[in-house]
Structure 1
C-alpha cells in the first residue's frame, strides 16, 4: 500500500513542478523576446547607450544621432537580420537613415513612452482600464507611408541568454528603413546646401528657419496671382451666371492652387523636419478639403440662382404658390448640401490626419463634459438650425410670401440656417433669427392665395345719398387695374350716429400691396367727388334757436349737436409703412 501511494505523490510533485516551469517560461515569453545574441558584431555598447526602458532607448537614439555618433546609435537597433560581419558597417548607416526619416517623417513625443522596464500599462486616468497592470514587450512609435504602403516604427524588448533584457528598435523596422529613406530622406535643396546651414537651432535647423518664410511667401504669391487672374477672367466674361460663378470661386481656387504648390514643393523640392511637415500637411489637407467643398457649395448657389431666375423671377407673392414652394424647397436643398459637405469634409480631414485612434478615446472619456459645453455654447445655433429645417419641411412660410411680422409688411426673401431675411415694403432688409421668428405670431397674407380684401370707411352727414356714393365707388373700382373680382364690390352703411353715418366700401386686390394702393386711390377719388359735387354731405354743426331768445333779441345760446365720439371697427392690418391704417 505504501509503494503505490509514494509513486502517486511523486507523480503529483513532478506535475506541479512542470506546471510551474511552464508557467515561468510562458511569463518570460510575455515579458521579452528571447534571442541567441544581441548585435554580436558591434561589440560592447558605450556608456552613452541606455536601453533599459522604451523611453530611455528612444531618447538615447535621438541624442546620439543628433551628435552624429551613428556607430553608438547602432547599438539601439536590433540588427538580427544582418550577418555579424556586416553589423558594424551597415549599422551606422541604418542609424543615420532612420534618424533622418524620423526627423522628417513624424515628430516623436517620447514623454508618452513608458519609463518602466516591463512597459507595464499604468492606470493614471482614475478609471479602471482593462489593460491596467499588463506588461508589454512591443511598442509602436509611429506609422509612416511609402509607395502606398504603411510601415510601423517599433521598439521591442529582447533578452539573450542570462543577460539583462534590453529595448531595441525592432528588426521589421530595420528592414523598412531603405524604403522609408527614399520617401523621407534629404530633399534636393538640402543636398545642395553648405554644411554650415545644417546647424540645429532649437528644434529646427538653420536652413529651415530661412526656408520656411520663403516657402510661405512663394505659396502666398501664387495664391494672389491666381486670385488676380480669376478677377481678370471674371471681368472678361459676359454678364451672366458664368461670371457670377467665376467671381464666387476666386478665393477657394486660389487656396487650392496654394495647397497644390505647397504639396509639390514638400514632395520634390524641400523636406522640413517632422514637426513642421506634419503641421503643414494637416493645414494643406484642411485647405484642400475646404476649397473643394466651398466650390461645390458655390456651384449649388449658381444653379439655385439660375433656377430662381428661370422659374420664379422676382421674389414676391404674385407668383404661383407652387413656384414659391419650389423655391423654398431649393433653399432647403441648399442647406442640406452645405450640411452634407461640411460633414464629408470633416470626416475626410479627420481620416487623413489619423485622428480617429486618439480622438475616439478622448471623446468617450470626456463625453459628458463635451455634451455640456456644446449644449451651452451651441444652444442658440442648434436651435436655429433645427427651426430652419422645421420651416423647410412644414412650410408655414415660403420664399416670396408676404407676411406681417411685428407690424411690418415684408416679403420672405430667404430662409437660411440660422436666420430668415425679410424684405420690407421700403426695400430694407430685416434679419430675424429663425427660432425667434417661429416663436412669434405673424400673419401670412400669401398662405393660400395672394388676393386681399381692403375697406374704405367714410363718415358723412345723414343726408348723404348712399345710392349715389355706391354708384361712384363701383365706377371708380372698375376703372382701377388693381381691383379684381368686381362682383364682390360692396358699399354699405355700417354705422349710424346722432348726425352722421358710416359708409364702408369693400374691394379686392390681386395681392396685398396692390390692394392697398387701390384703396388709397379710390379713397382720394371719393373724397374729391364729395368735395366737388356734394359738399353738404360733410359732417357739420347744427345750431338750434328758441322762440324766446329770438323775441328778446338776445344773442341766442348755441346748442351744438356734435358728432359723438364713435367706436368703429378698424382694419388692424398695418399699412406698408408699418403703422395700423384706420379706415
Structure 2
C-alpha cells in the first residue's frame, strides 16, 4: 500500500510543480515582475492612466500638453535612476520626451493596443503573433548621428498589484541625445511665449511659420528656374543649351528641397505630423528631380547620337540607321524604367514604408492586385506592347506606313503611344496597343523604293506604242524616277469604246514615287490634249432621218455618260446614210 500511495503523492507534487512553472512562464510573457516601481515619486494622481498601451501614451501626451510634467513622470519607468533624483529628472525627461515625440515621428494612437495584455487580434490569421499577449511594444523609431533608437512601452507588475504600462527605461537613456536632435529650433527659442500655445493640431506660431516656410522655398525655386533660363539663353545654341532648358524645372525643385531640408535641420522644426509629411515629400521630390535630370541627360545624349549618326530621319535613310535609332529609343525607355524603379526603391527605403505598412500591404495584397490590374491595364498593356515593338521591330523610327488610310512617318515610339507624322505635317498620336492590333502597311519594311501606277482611260483608237514612247521620255526626264529599265506600259483593260492603259514607274521612296507619278501623269494628259484629243473617250450617237424629222436630236434628248466627251462618229451607218454631227 505504501508504494502506490508514494507514487500517487509524487505525481501530485510533480503536477503542482509543473503548474507553478507554467504559471510563472505565463506571467513572464505577460509582464515584467519588479520589486518596486518609481519609489522616489509620490502616489500617481487619479488622472494618470496606465492600464493599456494606448491609455499610457494618451495620458502622457495629455499631461505634457498641460505642462504637468511631474504627473507625466509617473508614466516613465525611472527605476534605473537614483531614488532621490527620480522626481526632478523624471519631470525633465517627461518634458524632453514630449518634445521628441511631437517633432520626431508622427504616430497614431489608434495603432496602439487598447487591451491590457496587448494581444494581437487578427481575424485573417496572417499575423504570426495573433492570439499572443505582449509585454513590450515599439512606439516610434527615431534616428540621430546615423543611429536608430526605439521608444518603447512595457508592462510591469509589483507583487500582487495590477500591472501597468510605462515608458521603458532603455528609452529614457537615449532621450537627452534625441532631444538634442529634435529639441526646440533656433527660431522657436525666439518666439514669444504667447505664440507657444496650441491651436488645433498645431501650435499658434506654426500656423504662421508653415506658410512662410513654403513661400520662402517657392521663391528660391522660382529664382533658380529664372536664373537657369537666363543661362540657357546665354549659352550657344546646341546641346548644352538644350540640356540646360530640359533641367530647369527639376533643378528648381532640387534647390527647393535642399533649402527646405536645411531650414528643418538648423532653423525651424514643426510638429511630428508636419515634419514627417514634409520629410517624405522632400525625399520624393529630391528623388524625382535627380531621376528626371538623369533621364534628361539620356535624352540629350540620344539627340547628339541621332544627329551625329543618323541626322534627320525618314525612310530615305539606310535601314540600319533607322534600326539604330529605334534601338536607341528602346534603350531610353529601359533607362527610364530602371530610373523609376530605383527612385521608388530609394523612396521606400528612406521613408521606411515596409516597416510601418508591410503587414497592411500583405493583408490587402489581393485587393491592391485587383485595383492595379483594373486601373493600370491600359497603361501596362501599352508599355508591354511598346517593348514588343522595340524588340521585334515590325516598324522603325523613320518608316513610312499606311495606317488607316494615312501615309505617315513613324516619328517616335514611346511607352504608351506612337507618334506618326503625316505627309501634310500633322501628328497622329496612336496608343501602342491600338496600333499593333490593327493591320497597317509598312512601305519601308525591306526597302524604301516603290512602284507607282498611272491609269488612263482612252478611246480604242489611241495608239499605245506612241504613248509608251512618250511615257518613257517623260519618266526618264524626272530625277525622282529610278531603274529606267523597269518602266512599262500595258493595256490592262477594255470596254465597249474605251481601253485602260497602265504605266508603271519606280521611285527611290514612296513620297518621291508619288510626286513623280503626278508629274508624269500631267505630261501625258497634256500631250494627249494638245496632239491627240481624239483619243479621249467619247460616245457614238447615230441619228436617222426619221429621228431628225420628228425633232429627236441630242438638243432635245439629254444623253449623258460620266467622264466622257460627247461626239458623233464620222463613219456611215450600215444603211449607207451619213449621220448629222452633234
Distance in 1, matches of 2:156 and 2:191, equals: 40
Q: CA deviation at 1:555?
A: 8.7
Structure 2 CA distance for partners of 1:542 and 1:132, relative to 1, 3 Å: closer
> Pick from 302, 308, 311: which aligns with 1:310?
308
Are 2:117 and 1:118 equivalent residues in the alignment? yes
> Pick from 270, 277, 281: which aligns with 1:272?
270
Distance in 1, matches of 2:454 and 2:52, equals: 95
Distance in 1, matches of 2:552 and 2:167, equals: 126
The residue number in structure 2 matching 1:403 is 401
Worse overlay, 495-504 or 401-410: 495-504
Map 1:315-334; keep pairs closer than 5 Å. 315-334=313-332
Q: Is the 8 A contact 2:137 2:153 kept in 1?
A: yes
Map 1:197-212; keep pairs closer than 5 Å. 197-212=195-210
> Pick from 433, 436, 461: which aligns with 1:435?
433
> Pick from 517, 521, 540: which aligns with 1:519?
517
Give structure 1 stretches of 5+ with no counterpart: 567-583
The residue number in structure 1 matching 2:502 is 504
The residue number in structure 2 matching 1:477 is 475
Q: CA deviation at 1:183?
A: 0.7
> Pick from 223, 226, 238: which aligns with 1:225?
223
The residue number in structure 2 matching 1:48 is 47
Distance in 2, matches of 1:27 and 1:421, equals: 70
The residue number in structure 2 matching 1:33 is 32
Q: TM-score normalized by structure 1?
A: 0.91
Map 1:513-552; keep pairs closer than 5 Å. 513-542=511-540
The residue number in structure 2 matching 1:262 is 260
Map 1:288-299; keep pairs closer than 5 Å. 288-299=286-297
Q: CA deviation at 1:105?
A: 0.4
The residue number in structure 2 matching 1:105 is 104
The residue number in structure 1 matching 2:567 is none
Q: Is the 8 A contact 1:41 1:87 kept in 2?
A: yes
Q: CA deviation at 1:130?
A: 4.2
The residue number in structure 2 matching 1:24 is 23
Structure 2 CA distance for partners of 1:197 and 1:544, relative to 1, 3 Å: closer
Structure 2 CA distance for partners of 1:275 and 1:239, relative to 1, 3 Å: same
Distance in 1, matches of 2:126 and 2:293, equals: 48
SS in structure 2 of the partner of residue 529 of structure 1:
helix
Please give the per-residue CA displacement for 1:436-462, whole angstroms capped at 9, x wherever unaligned: 111111111111100100111222333
Are 2:344 and 1:351 equivalent residues in the alignment? no
Q: Is the 8 A contact 1:498 1:564 kept in 2?
A: no
The residue number in structure 1 matching 2:420 is 422
Distance in 2, matches of 1:374 and 1:325, equals: 34
SS in structure 1 of the partner of residue 225 of structure 2:
helix
The residue number in structure 1 matching 2:91 is 92
SS in structure 2 of the partner of residue 40 of structure 1:
coil
SS in structure 1 of the partner of residue 446 of structure 2:
coil
Worse overlay, 444-453 or 496-505: 496-505
Q: Is the 8 A contact 1:324 1:400 kept in 2?
A: yes
> Pick from 183, 190, 197: which aligns with 2:188?
190
Q: CA deviation at 1:115?
A: 2.0
SS in structure 1 of the partner of residue 469 of structure 2:
helix
Q: Is the 8 A contact 1:450 1:511 kept in 2?
A: yes
Q: Is the 8 A contact 1:498 1:563 kept in 2?
A: no
Distance in 2, matches of 1:315 and 1:440, equals: 24
Q: CA deviation at 1:36?
A: 2.2
Question: How many residues are aligned here?
Answer: 560
Give structure 2 stretches of 5+ with no counterpart: 564-582
Distance in 2, matches of 1:397 and 1:229, equals: 42
SS in structure 2 of the partner of residue 520 of structure 1:
helix
Distance in 1, matches of 2:110 and 2:58, equals: 9
Distance in 1, matches of 2:104 and 2:55, equals: 21
Q: CA deviation at 1:557?
A: 8.0
The residue number in structure 2 matching 1:147 is 145
SS in structure 2 of the partner of residue 115 of structure 1:
coil
Q: Is the 8 A contact 1:317 1:402 kept in 2?
A: yes
Q: CA deviation at 1:365?
A: 2.1
Structure 2 CA distance for partners of 1:122 and 1:527, relative to 1, 3 Å: closer
The residue number in structure 2 matching 1:78 is 77
Q: CA deviation at 1:160?
A: 2.2
Distance in 1, matches of 2:562 and 2:61, equals: 98
Please give the per-residue CA displacement for 1:157-192, whole angstroms capped at 9, x wherever unaligned: 112233322211111101111111111111111112
Structure 2 CA distance for partners of 1:133 and 1:531, relative to 1, 3 Å: closer
Q: Is the 8 A contact 2:126 2:363 kept in 1?
A: no
Map 1:448-459; keep pairs closer than 5 Å. 448-459=446-457
Distance in 2, matches of 1:320 and 1:495, equals: 38
Worse overlay, 153-162 or 354-363: 354-363
Q: CA deviation at 1:211?
A: 0.9
Distance in 2, matches of 1:525 and 1:57, equals: 98
Q: Is the 8 A contact 1:219 1:261 kept in 2?
A: yes
Are 2:4 and 1:9 equivalent residues in the alignment? no
SS in structure 2 of the partner of residue 305 of structure 1:
helix
Distance in 1, matches of 2:22 and 2:551, equals: 136
The residue number in structure 1 matching 2:575 is none
Please give the per-residue CA displacement for 1:355-405, whole angstroms capped at 9, x wherever unaligned: 113433223322332222222222222222222121111111111111111
Structure 2 CA distance for partners of 1:62 and 1:504, relative to 1, 3 Å: same
Distance in 2, matches of 1:491 and 1:122, equals: 89
Q: CA deviation at 1:530?
A: 2.2
